[in-house]
Chains A and B, each alone.
Chain A
Amino acid sequence: MSIPDYMQCAEDHQTVLVVVQPVGIVPEDQFFKIYKRIASVSQVSIRDSQRLLYIRYRHHYLPENNEWGDFQTHRKVVGLVSITTCDSAKDWPQTSERFHGQKEVYSSTLYDSRLMVFGLQGEIAEQQRTDVAFYPSFEESPDVERRVEDFVESIFIVLESKRLDRATDKSGDKTPLLCVPFEKKDFVGLDTDSRHYKKRCQGRMRKHVGDLCLQAGMLQDALVHYHMAVELLRGVNDFLWLGAALEGLCSASVIFHYPGGTGKLAGRKPSVSQAADTGKRHRPGAQEVLIDPGALTANGISADTSTEIGRAKNCLSPEDIIEKYKEAISYYGKYKNAGVIELEACVKAVRVLAIQKRAREASEFLQNAVYINLGQLSEEEKIQRYSILSELYELIGFHRKSAFFKRVAAMQCVAPTIPEPGWRACYKLLLETLPGYSLSLDPKDFSKGPHRGWAAVQVRLLHELVYASRRMGNPALSVRHLSFLLQTMLDFLSDQEKKEVTQSLENYTSKCPGGMEVITLPDAADLDGLLCCCCRCSPAVKLSLFSDFQWVQGDVCEVQLMVYNPMPYELRVENMGLLTSGVEFESLPAALSLPAESGLYPVTLVGVPRTAGNITINGYHTSVFGVTSECLLETLPTVKTSGCLVEVIPSLPRLQLSTSLPRSTHTVQSMSKEELCSSVSVQLFNGEKQQMTITLENIGSEEIQTLELTSKIVSTKEKVFGEFLSWDLEDALSHLPLKPGQAVTLTVGIKVKLDFSGQESLLQDLNEDGISVTGLPISSPLRQVLKARSESKSVSSESGKTEYSHVKTLEAVLNFKYSGGVGKVEGYYKELSLGVHVDVEPSVFFTRVSTLPATSTRQCHLLLDIFNPTEHELTVSAKNNQELVLHASECQR
C-alpha cells in the first residue's frame, strides 16, 4: 500500500467500501451522473434493527490497498457496482464476461456485486436477476437508488453473518492468524502451537471483530472488542496490530463523541458536533477500561460482551482519544511498510483535534506527518501531500503554516525534475497562499491603512507570482502583479530592487501593448479595478480653476495636481490626463519627466469641456513604464475629497489683451478673488502723464456683445491728486459686437500726482546746515509743471531706485467685463483684469526756503533752493514766465 488517502477521517472506520466502476465503454459524464446518484445512498437503515450502515463509494481503488482489508476492514472492498452500456443482445455475453473479470480483481473480499446495464432492451432485459439491473437508457433509470439500497442491505446481511461467525467462533480449532501483506513471510515456520502465537491470533481476531461490529453499527460491542484486543495484543507485543486496535478504539470513540463527523461535513455543521462535544466531554471514569476478566475465556473470545460491561464506560474521553492516537501512531512508526497507515492516522487525529480546537497538539501530529517517509513519491504525490498538509494547517487555524506548505506545493509543481512544469497550477496555488501572508490583491484592502504583514515574505511571494505568470505565458498578468508589487511594497524595496522591478515591468509591458484595462485572472480572485499609481498623489490636490470655479464650454481648463516621484531615478510619465464624468470632456494628455525623488511637483492637466453642465473631476490617468493606470481621487487615502464638481457654463467669447507697455512680473497685491491675467508696470516721474494703448482681441469663437471697464486703485496710503487712470470707452464700444478675430484698441491715460512733501530725512541729507525746509512741490502757489524730457524710464529706474528710496508705488486694476454668445443669454460674463503698476519718482525738491527783503517793503523775494533728483534736465517755470533750467542732480537757486 503506497498511496495514502488523505481525505480519510475517523468515522470512515464504520463505513463499508463499495467500488463503482464502468465496464466497457461508458461516457464519462454519464458515468459520473450515475455515480453521483449511487453515492447519494450513503447511509441505509437496516430493516428490523435500529442500525445504520454507512457506505463509502470509490470509483477507483487500488487492489493493492485491498490487501490491507484484514487489517482494517473499512479498507476492504466489499461491494462492486459495475456500470455498462450494451446496445444489442449479442453484445451481452461479452459484457457479462467483462463484469465477471472485474469481480475477479476484488474477489477475495467481495461480499456482493451488481451490474447496471444501460441501453439493452428485449428478451435478456426482461429476465429478473438480482445481480443485474437493466435500464433502457441513462435517463430512464428511476430506481437506481432503490436498487443500491437493496444491494447495501444484501451486503449488510453478509457482514452481519461474518460478524456473528467470527464472534462466535468457539471452535476448539485454531483461530486463523490474520496478517497484513508484508507480514506473511515472517510467519513461515513459526510454532503455531505456542501460547504466544495463539494469543496473537486471538488478539488480531478480536480487533477484526471489533472492526466488523463497528461497520455493522454496533458501536458498543466494537468498543468492547477493541479493548479486549488491546489487552491481548499488548501482552504479546504485537505492535502493528496493537496500534490498529488502539486506532479502532479511537475511531469508535470519535464516532460516539462527534456524531457530526470530523471530515468534510464537520465544518458544515459545527453546532451539532459542538453540542455533542460539550454534552459528552466530561464523563468521569470513561477512560477506565473496565473489562471483566471473566470475559476473557480460555480461547479469549466471548460472544455476548455487551451485557457484561458498562456501555459508555468503554468509550474514550476526548483527551484519551488523542493519547491513544499518539500511542497508535508511535506503534505504526515502528514499521516501515505501515507508513501510509501512520500517515492516515495522523491525518485522522488532526481532524479530531481540529474539532476539539486543540490546534497546537494538532500541529504536533502534522509535524510528525511531515517526516513520515513513504519511499519514493512521484512529483504529483508530493504536490498532493503538501497541499493536504496545507489544508490541514488551515483547518486548525495555522494560516501561515498553511500558506507555507501551499507555497512549497506550488514550487513542487514546477520542480526542475518535472518534464512539463505546471506553471498554471503553480500560479493558482500561489494565489491561494495570499491570505496566509496577509496579502490581498483587492485595492480596497490595501488602501485601507498602513501596510500590514511581513514584508520580506510578501515581496518574495509577489515576485514568484510575477515569475509564474510570466512562465504561464501571460505577461499582462505579470505586469499587473509587478505594478501591485511596486505600489504596495515600495517602502520595503531597496533602490536596486526598485530599479530591477521597474526594468522588468518595462520589459513586460513592451510585450503586451494595449489592452491592459481588463485582465481577468484564470479562476482567481477578481482583480478588476487594480490601480497603480507609481507617482503617488500628494495629500493636497490643488485645483486651480478659472472663472470663479466655473468652466466655460469650449475653453481650455486647467487642473493642477501636486505629484512626487518616490523613485530613485528619473520617471517618465506619459499620457497623463484627467478622468471626468458628467460632461463631454476632451482631455489633452500631457507628458512629463519627474526628477529622481522629487519633492512635490506641480502638474497642470488641461482639457476642454465640449458641452455645458456639471463636470466631476474623478481622477487622472497616467502611463508609467508602459502601464496605463487610472487613479481615482476617492481611492487615494491621502486625499479627502472624492472628486471635484465644477459647473461648465455655456460658451462665452474670449478676449486677449495686449498693451503698449512692457509686461511686468509685479503682481498686484491684495488681489483676493480675481486672478490677474497680466499686469504692466511703468515708471513715471511725479506729475508725468503717459498714454497706454490696450488692444483687445477676440480670440474666442463667440461675438463680444458687451464691454465694460472699471478701475480700482489698490493698496495705497498716498493721496492721489486728480484721476490716475482715465479712458474713453465710447470709441471702443462703437466697434461692438466684436467678431472673432477682430480687435479693438483703447487708450488709457496714466497720470500720477502724488504728494512728496515731508520727506525730511532726505532733505537733511541734502542740507548739511540742518535747516529743515518743507518742500512744497505741487500745492504751493508756485506750482511747477514738470516735464521730463526723456522717455527711457527703464534705464533710469535702476539707478534711481538704488540711490533714493523715496520711490512711491501706485497700483491699480483695470477690469474688463465682457460677454456674448450663448453665455450672455444666461447672464454669464467674463472678467479680464489688467494690473497697472506705477513707480512714481519725485521730480523736484525744494530744499530750502528763505526770504530776502525786496526793494519794496510790501514785497519780498522768496528764495527756493530747488533740487533736481532726476537724471534729466528739467525746466521749472513760475508764474511770471521765468524759466530755470535744471540739469540732472543739480541744485540751483
Chain B
Amino acid sequence: MFGDSIRKCLAGLQGTQTWRVGIAVIAKENYPLYIRSVASQSELKFHYTVHTSLDVVEEKISAVGKSLGDQRELYLGLLYPTEDYKVYGYVTNSKVKFVIVVDSSNTSLRDNEIRSMFRKLHNSFTDVMCNPFHNPGDPIQSKAFDGIVSGMMVQTG
C-alpha cells in the first residue's frame, strides 16, 4: 500500500506507462552521459530510479576501495530490487557507471546475461572513448553505441 502511494505519486507526475527496460551511462561526476529507456513517457521516472541507485553504487564502490590491491570486480550485481523492477550496476575502472534497469517480471534474465550485457556495453563504450573526436564527459551521441543499446533493448524488452 505504501509503495503504491509512491508509485501513484510518481505515476501522477510522469504518466502511467512504465518502462520495461532501461540503460544508463553515468559519468564519474554522477551526471548522465547516456540515458535510454523503452517507453519515453515515463522517462523522468527512469531518471529518478537511476539517480537514486547511485547511492548504492557509491556505497559499493567505497566499500571496495577499502580492500587495497585487489583487482576490483567491475560488476556490482543487483543494486536494489523494488516491486516493479531490478536495478543492476557496473563500474568501470575510470568510475564511469553503467546501470541497467529491468522489469521485475522479466525472469528470463539471469545474472550471467546481465553480466554479458554490461560487458558488451563496456566494449562499445570503450570504442566511443577511442574516437578522437569525442570529448570525454560529453553526452554520448555515437550511433554505433546507440545501435548496441537498441539491440539489447529488443533482446530483453
Contacts and interface: CB of A to CB of B under 8 A. Distances in A.
B26 to A, nearest CB: 8
B60 to A, nearest CB: 7
B30 interface: yes
A185 interface: no
| Chain A interface SS verdict (over half) | helix
A453 interface: yes
Contacts of A359: 59
Contact of B32 (A360, A385, A401, A454): A454
A363 B56 contact: yes
A451 B31 contact: yes
Interface stretch (B3-11, B107-115, B125-133, B147-155): B3-11
Interface stretch (B15-23, B44-52, B98-106): B44-52
B68 interface: no
Given A363-B56, A412-B9, A451-B31, A456 B3 contact: no
Given A367-B80, A398-B55, A453-B30, A372 B47 contact: no
Given A412-B9, A452-B29, A453-B31, A397 B51 contact: no
A460 B44 contact: yes
Contacts of A374: 2
Interface string A368-401: 0011111001000010010000000100011111
Interface in A411-451: 411-412, 415, 437-438, 451
A510 to B, nearest CB: 28
Contacts of B74: none
Given A454-B47, A456-B44, A438 B30 contact: yes
A367 B81 CA distance: 9
Interface residues of A, number: 34
Contact of A401 (B5, B44, B55, B83): B55
B32 A363 contact: no
A457 interface: yes
B56 to A, nearest CB: 6
Contacts of A385: 2
B30 A454 contact: yes
B9 A408 contact: yes
Interface in B25-77: 29-32, 35, 43-44, 47-48, 51-52, 54-56, 59-60, 63
Nearest to A453: B31
Interface in A234-291: none
Contact of A373 (B1, B51, B82): B1
B3 A370 contact: yes
Measured as residues with beta carbon below 8 angstroms from the partner, the interface class of chain B is 20 to 34
A412 B32 CA distance: 28
Contact of A360 (B30, B52, B56, B82): B56
Contact of B52 (A370, A404, A415, A455): A404
A397 to B, nearest CB: 7
B51 A408 contact: no
A370 B2 contact: yes
B5 A371 contact: no
A437 B9 CA distance: 19
Given A359-B59, A363-B56, A411-B9, A454 B51 contact: yes
Contact of B47 (A367, A408, A412, A457): A457
Which one of A359, A374, A385, A415 has the greatest number of beta carbons of chain B within 10 Å? A359
A373 B4 CA distance: 10
A460 B63 CA distance: 32
A374 B1 CA distance: 9
A659 B9 CA distance: 78
Nearest to B6: A408
Contact of B31 (A377, A408, A454): A454
B55 A452 contact: no
A413 B30 CA distance: 29
A378 to B, nearest CB: 12
Contacts of B9: 408, 411-412, 415
B119 to A, nearest CB: 24
B84 to A, nearest CB: 12
A79 to B, nearest CB: 34
B96 to A, nearest CB: 15
A359 B56 CA distance: 8
A619 B26 CA distance: 38
A456 B59 contact: no
Given A370-B6, A412-B9, A460-B44, A452 B31 contact: yes
Contacts of A452: 29-31
B51 A382 contact: no
Contacts of B32: 454-456
Contacts of B47: 454, 456-457, 460
Contacts of B54: 400
Nearest to A402: B55
Contacts of B1: 373
Contacts of A370: 2-3, 6
A591 to B, nearest CB: 37
A736 B13 CA distance: 80
Contacts of B5: 382, 412
Contact of A455 (B6, B31, B56): B31
Contacts of B13: 411
Nearest to A452: B29
A400 B52 contact: yes
Which one of A385, A400, A411, A452 has the greatest number of beta carbons of chain B within 10 Å? A400
Which one of B29, B31, B55, B63 has the greatest number of beta carbons of chain A within 10 Å? B55
A453 B30 CA distance: 6
Interface in A584-632: none
A457 B44 contact: yes
Given A367-B80, A398-B52, 15 more contacts: A360-B56, A363-B55, A363-B59, A367-B82, A371-B2, A373-B1, A377-B2, A393-B55, A397-B59, A401-B55, A412-B9, A452-B30, A453-B30, A454-B30, A457-B44
Interface of B: 1-3, 5-6, 9, 13, 29-32, 35, 43-44, 47-48, 51-52, 54-56, 59-60, 63, 80, 82-83
Interface of A: 359-360, 363-364, 367, 370-374, 377, 382, 385, 393, 397-401, 404, 408, 411-412, 415, 437-438, 451-457, 460
29 contacts: A360-B59, A360-B63, A363-B59, A363-B80, A367-B82, A370-B2, A370-B3, A370-B6, A371-B3, A371-B83, A373-B2, A385-B2, A398-B56, A399-B55, A400-B51, A400-B52, A401-B55, A404-B52, A411-B9, A411-B13, A412-B9, A415-B9, A438-B30, A453-B30, A455-B31, A456-B32, A456-B43, A457-B44, A457-B51
| Interface pairs A-B: 3 shortest CB-CB | A398-B55, A373-B1, A456-B47
